[in-house]
Amino acid sequence: MSNFAKFVKLFRENPYAAASLVKAFLRGSVNILYYKCVNPRVVIKQPFFVYEKFEVSGPGRVCIDANCSIFPSVFRGVSIITLTPQAEVRIGNYCSFGGMMIRCQREVEIGDRAMAGYSLIQDTLFTEDLNLCENNYGQNAQTDSGVKIGKNVWIGAHSCILQNTRIGDDSVISLGAVCRNMEVKDYHLASGNPCRHSLPIARIVQYRGASK
């Protein structure tokens, strides 16, 4: 079924949802045009659906693939801040974010079909006197490695993914988890503050099935 046919079906079944989708598409198109004119280092592919506030600031590069959505949450919108001209944020297609902040000094990569509640992704730690003014991005930031998040990852609300973290495909970061200097393997669940280890989701599902 084509996208147009899906939209017609949605319009017939739920006109309000269809109108909301059109509004988000138009708002996303305005954002694409705005950053194309104001900051060509921000590249966003169509279609881009913006239901809530979205903003990008800083001197680095931001690339967002097609079919991504910005949804409302308790904490409004999505904010992406690059701290140095060398910083690069890459987001795959079909990602859905309901309130999130990304702070990038070096590299933050998020794979396709990732989903996040209100959360923080940050590839550096800051000194207390870090001044994030326009002419002073990253001058006092520590040097840390980046963050890489795989495909089809679910990032729970109030979680923090910090520097030198690798998250495998099809994994889950639980509510309130803090991940730093660690690797979460494919199809694993990471939880805890701080998160020390991750558990295979298959083992958790098997245990729950056996306990019934």
pLDDT tens for each residue of 106-141: 999 999 999 998 899 999 876 444 444 444 444 444
Short-list 202, 173, 197, CA closest to 183:
197
Residues 91 and 107: their CA atoms lie apart, in Å, by: 11
* pTM for the full predicted model: 0.84
Q: Residue 130 corresponds to which tokens in the numbers above? A: 């870090």
Short-list 120, 6, 157, CA closest to 67:
6
Domain boundaries, the chain: 3-211
3-211 adopts what CATH topology?
UDP N-Acetylglucosamine Acyltransferase; domain 1 (2.160.10)
pLDDT tens sequence across 137-177: 444 444 457 999 999 999 999 999 999 999 999 999 999 99
186 with 168: CB under 8 angstroms? Answer: yes
pLDDT tens sequence across 39-92: 999 999 999 999 999 999 999 999 999 999 999 876 678 999 999 999 999 999
